[in-house]
């Protein structure tokens, strides 16, 4: 109840200021502590043991400041970032908008973060739990591919896994890296970099893609990911599409997330499942606000899921409710595990 009231109070502030206050509160130890997870939710993602398949998407903990409190709040894993080699301020404010009537968010943050060195200093103190690093490129970079390899090298041995973010709509030209030739070069350089790093470290790599993809693009991305042996694809980032929306901020530019993304992102997830043909894993993101939403992603082929935008409206207690309802749905349909549900047709 306390955290629900705090969430309601934070909605009275500018969205970015509210986010800063939430981070400050978590750093002071004011976050919730979740009960033990139902055993049926224990699963594995690319060799990483998870107590549950519900992860925190990047964007919330950009600078790796509160991954511990968010794991304690009940997330099965936390992805920090997006981090770029050099610190950058991002786009001018205002750049984050609540669409309360639509249970949605629009952001044009622009990879604002404190940079790789500050991120690494905090991640080096990581304790138990799966914590990933979402890697990006600086807006003014002369070699964006080198930015990704720099992040991989600096955080090697610190992050549980890496996500290559080439799908944010808020860094001009970034999504061009999703084209086949550019993606092939990027993944080739990343794999080559990883092969030259200490091999006693298990650090799976995932590619994060946009939901605004055609079938031919999905096929090309799937083939490239499989050819380079990445662990999986995270589907999806925010969308530049604008379905019918009611909120007054609906016309703002940037990436749309939240409830309106649930259907489109799940449809793209299903198409990636067909294209993957079991060669790599999938993580489902976009619009999750309930156990039913998480279950829909899993039944569409996701080995795990991530959420963020729904926390703006529901608060940190949401993750416990999602897990409770997800466990009940798995049991009701006779599944013994998350992996079994994801594999079932």
Interacting residues of 155 by C-beta distance below 8 A, sequence separation 6+: 116, 119, 120, 123, 133, 135, 162
Q: Catalytic site residues? A: 168
Name the CA dihedral angle for 222, 75, 286, 169, rounded to a multiple of 10 degrees: -80
8 A C-beta contact, residue 106 and residue 99? yes
Q: Give CA–CA dist 109/209, Å, rounded.
A: 18
Phi-psi category of residue 286: left, alpha or beta, with phi > 0 → left and psi -120 to 50 → alpha = left
Handedness of CA 171, 173, 177, 180 (dihedral sign): positive
- Paired with 104 in beta bridges are 99, 258
Q: Give CA–CA dist 51/82, Å, rounded.
A: 24
Most distant CA atoms of the chain, gap in Å? 53
Q: Give CA–CA dist 29/34, Å, rounded.
A: 14
């Amino acid at each position: 109840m306390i955290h629900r009231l705090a969430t309601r109070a934070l909605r009275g502030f500018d969205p970015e200021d509210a986010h800063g206050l939430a981070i400050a509160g978590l750093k002071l130890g004011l976050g919730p502590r979740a009960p033990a997870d139902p055993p049926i939710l224990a699963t594995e993602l690319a060799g990483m043991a998870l107590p549950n398949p519900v992860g925190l998407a990047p964007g919330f903990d950009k600078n790796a400041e509160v991954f511990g409190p968010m794991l304690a709040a009940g997330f099965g894993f936390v992805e920090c970032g997006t981090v770029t080699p050099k610190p950058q301020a991002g786009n001018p404010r205002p750049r984050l908008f609540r669409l309360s009537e639509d249970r949605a968010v629009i952001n044009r943050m622009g990879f604002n973060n404190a940079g790789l060195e500050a991120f690494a200093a905090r991640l080096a103190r990581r304790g138990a739990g799966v914590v990933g690093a979402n890697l990006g490129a600086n807006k003014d970079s002369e070699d964006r591919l080198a930015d990704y390899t720099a992040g991989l090298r600096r955080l090697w041995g610190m992050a549980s896994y890496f996500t290559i973010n080439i799908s944010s709509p808020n860094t001009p030209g970034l999504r061009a890296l999703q084209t086949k030739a550019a993606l092939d070069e990027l993944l080739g350089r990343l794999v080559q970099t990883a092969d030259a790093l200490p091999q006693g470290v298990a650090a799976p790599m995932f590619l994060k893609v946009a939901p605004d993809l055609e079938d031919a693009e999905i096929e090309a991305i799937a083939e490239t990911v499989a050819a380079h042996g990445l662990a999986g694809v995270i589907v999806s980032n925010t969308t530049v599409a604008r379905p019918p929306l009611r909120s007054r901020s609906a016309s703002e530019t940037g990436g749309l997330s939240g409830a309106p993304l649930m259907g489109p992102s799940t449809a793209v997830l299903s198409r990636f499942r067909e294209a993957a043909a079991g060669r790599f894993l999938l993580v489902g993101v976009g619009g999750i606000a309930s156990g039913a939403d998480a279950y829909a992603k899993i039944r569409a082929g996701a080995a795990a899921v991530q959420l963020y935008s729904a926390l703006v409206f529901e608060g940190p207690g949401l993750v416990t409710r999602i897990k409770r309802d997800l466990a009940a749905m798995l049991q009701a349909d006779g599944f013994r595990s998350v992996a079994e549900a994801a594999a079932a047709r």
